[in-house]
């Protein structure tokens, strides 16, 4: 069980800080299922969950007391969240794929298979609108070092990995993650409601296509 460290965050929010991404996922899932009274938004991070509230409906003291009463266990049962899995088709032809496989001592086919075997989950979003940081829930994925020389431009739809995370670039931008492949699935579309496919809690499987 992890203790929750509570910090003030302006006049209408409380920041809950936990030990790591697994605990943040568990706390966020619990808060989605049982939000404190007056909650208007929940914003998860790598080690935090920001709870925004309506000051006319509750107070920081009440929200803090609610958060302090919740035990947080990494990997806690969160079947109350959606069991649906978003399947993302990927052409595994990334510029960094062969080099990454070689450094890990396995074939490209083995690396691609490992990426597909993992059930991923969006822990939080950041960096750019629609960019979800996905962590492995199962499988044998190994941590991946960032590139020593970040690219000045990574194409939209690029599927990449860094650290324990994988992600899909929602638009063209600079980036230092290792490129594994690409997808035609638009993970961010302002003409769609909601615009983002990769929202916190979403479970994801990557599937190879020609």
Check residue 80 and give its pLDDT. 45
Residue 49's CB: how many other CB atoms inside 10 A? Answer: 28
Q: Is the model's pLDDT at 4 over the cut of 90? A: no
Looking at per-residue pLDDT, the higher value among 32 and 140 belongs to 32
CATH code, residues 5-68 = 3.30.1360.40
| % of the chain at pLDDT higher than 90 | 83
Residue 43's CB: how many other CB atoms inside 10 A? Answer: 17
Name the residue ranges covered by the structural domains of the chain. 5-68, 85-208
CA–CA gap between residue 19 and residue 49 (Å, rounded): 11
Please tell me the pTM assigned to this model: 0.87
pLDDT in tens, 42-81: 999 999 999 999 999 999 999 999 999 987 766 544 544 5
Q: Is the model's pLDDT at 25 over the cut of 80? A: yes
Across the chain, mean pLDDT equals 92
CATH superfamily of 85-208: Cyclophilin-like (2.40.100.10)
Fold match, 5-68 / 85-208 = no
Q: Where are the beta strands (DSSP E) in 54-150?
A: 85-90, 120-125, 132-136
Q: Is the model's pLDDT at 82 over the cut of 90? A: no
Measure CA 131 to chain center.
8
Section 112-121 average pLDDT: 96
């Amino acid at each position: 069980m992890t203790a929750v460290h509570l910090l003030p965050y302006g006049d209408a929010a409380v920041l809950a800080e936990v030990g790591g991404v697994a605990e943040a996922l568990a706390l966020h899932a619990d808060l989605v299922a049982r939000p404190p009274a007056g909650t208007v938004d929940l914003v998860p991070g790598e080690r935090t969950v920001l709870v925004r509230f309506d000051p006319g409906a509750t107070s920081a003291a009440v929200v803090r007391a609610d958060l302090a009463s919740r035990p947080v266990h990494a990997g806690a049962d969160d079947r109350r969240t959606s069991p649906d899995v978003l399947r993302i088709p990927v052409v595994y032809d990334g510029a960094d794929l062969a080099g990454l496989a070689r450094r890990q001592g396995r074939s490209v086919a083995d690396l691609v298979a490992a990426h597909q075997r993992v059930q991923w989950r969006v822990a939080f979003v950041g960096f750019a609108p629609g960019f979800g940081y996905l962590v492995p829930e199962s499988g044998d994925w190994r941590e991946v070092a960032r590139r020593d020389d970040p690219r000045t431009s990574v194409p939209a739809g690029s599927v990449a990995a860094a650290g324990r995370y994988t992600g899909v670039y929602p638009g063209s931008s600079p980036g230092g993650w290792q490129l594994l492949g690409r997808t035609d699935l638009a993970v961010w579309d302002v003409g769609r409601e909601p615009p983002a496919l990769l929202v916190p809690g979403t479970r994801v499987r990557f599937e190879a296509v020609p």
